[in-house]
Structures are given as structure tokens and as C-alpha cells.
Amino acid sequence: MGKNLKKMFDVSRDNSAVMKVRRQRIALFRDLAAPLPKPLKLIDVGGTELFWEKMGFADDPDYEITILNLSRTDSHHSNIRLVAGDARDMRGFADGAFDVAFSNSVIEHVGGPSEQRRMAREVMRVGRRYFVQTPNWSFPLEPHFLFPGFQFFPLALKVFLIQRFSLGWYPKIPDREEALAAANSVRLLKRREVEELFSGGTIREEKIFGITSSFIVYGGW
């Protein structure tokens, strides 16, 4: 069962359930971006070069992509630039520096509610438009640990399980402090919280097995 779950939620597998949802997400993004003047200047907050390769944007001259992440690596594509930075503080970029601020499964990793608010404000500041996706807190299967209801457990139980079992994309972490850090590394959002963070944005629900697995919120288009 565990191996089957990992296959379904493995972004490296082109036929996985999560990749099918991602392709639908990108189709929506392409539809929104189609009428805009090109080249489109985009910042991907917390993303990876591999994501844009898989989605078919690498070396596309219509998209000038800046990827901001905690550490910088070298780019392998003519239209992609990689920079080091913090999603919660992008002071190196002016207001409206990009046509679009894009973020995919990142805001749930930046910390607690105040850190998530900081990231949301920065995304809306540096991009004249934004397009943000994040998993749904209410989806029965926690998408990082791949354990049913894991996000609903008290912190002590999460740490106990992480110390004793390999869960999802996390190997077993016997050290308590490291296990605690892993447990605190994800804070999933409820729909109401997404609405509050991106007030006035349009929300689309992504579904797996007919259940809302994640939210897309976009605005300024």
C-alpha cells in the first residue's frame, strides 16, 4: 500500500495522480498567460528548474523565469535564472518587478501563520499578477508524510511516528530534535486561510478521487 501511495504522489512519474493534477494546473496557467505580452517576466518563488522542464517551459523565449530558492544552483536553460533568497523577504526585487509571481507547494513550508502572511504579501508585491498553489489541510492523506490524517495529529504523536518510521518522502529520523523540525516543517492551509492570505483572489480547487487535494489562488489577471 505504501509503495502504491508513493507512486500515485510521485512528481517524477509522468503518469502519477499528482502529475495529472499538475498538468491541469499548468494548462490553467497557460490559458491565463496566453493574452499577455511576451516575453513574460515570471518569478517562481521556491521552485525548481526541473518543474519548468517537466511542464514544457524550458528554453521557451516567451517566458523569462527567475527561480528564487534558499540556495542557488546553475541554470541549464537560456530562459531560466536561479537566485538565492527568502520567500518571506524579497527586498531585492522592486514592487511589480515581475509580470507574474508564481509559487507551487511552497507556502506550507515557510513557517507558521505570520511567516505565511509575509510570503503572501511579498508574492503580491513583486508580481503584478500571482498564481499560487498549496495542498489542502482537509485532504485525508497528508501529501508529504503520506500518512492518513497526519496533519490532524498532535505534535508529540507526529514526532513519535517520524522517529520510528519512514513516512512518505521522509526517512526515519531517530533524533528527537530533527524529528521535531521535520514535523514543524509543514503547515497545511485551510481554504479560509488561503482566502485571508490572498484577499480578492480567485480560488480553484484541485481534486484527487473527487476530493479537494489542493488550492490554486490567482489574482491580478
Q: What is the pLDDT along the chain (221 residues), one digit of tens a residue?
A: 456 666 677 666 777 778 889 999 999 999 999 999 999 999 999 999 999 999 999 999 999 999 999 988 889 999 999 999 999 999 999 999 999 999 999 999 999 999 999 999 999 999 999 999 999 999 999 999 999 999 999 999 999 999 999 999 899 999 999 999 999 999 999 999 999 999 999 999 999 989 999 999 999 99
Both 105 and 75 in one domain: the answer is: yes
CA dist list (Å): 139 to 161, 200, 211: 20, 24, 7
pLDDT of residue 153: 98
How many whole angstroms separate alpha carbon 29 and alpha carbon 37? 15
- What does DSSP say about strands 211-219 and 130-135: parallel, antiparallel, or unpaired? antiparallel
As a whole number of Å, the CA-based R_g of the chain is: 17
Both 75 and 100 in one domain: the answer is: yes
How many structural domains is the chain composed of?
2
CATH number of the domain residue 66 falls in: 3.40.50.150
How many whole angstroms separate alpha carbon 9 and alpha carbon 34? 29
Both 115 and 137 in one domain: the answer is: yes
* Owning domain of residue 154: 145-185
Both 76 and 164 in one domain: the answer is: no
What are the CB-based long-range contacts (under 8 Å, 24+) for 165-172?
168/5, 168/6, 168/9, 168/142, 168/143, 168/144, 169/144, 169/145, 170/144, 170/145
How many whole angstroms separate alpha carbon 26 and alpha carbon 182? 29
> Cβ(183)–Cβ(105) under 8 Å?
no
How many whole angstroms separate alpha carbon 156 and alpha carbon 5? 25
Both 96 and 67 in one domain: the answer is: yes
> Cβ(105)–Cβ(142) under 8 Å?
no
Both 85 and 130 in one domain: the answer is: yes
pLDDT of residue 17: 77
pLDDT of residue 145: 96
Both 172 and 215 in one domain: the answer is: no
- What does DSSP say about strands 63-69 and 80-84: parallel, antiparallel, or unpaired? parallel
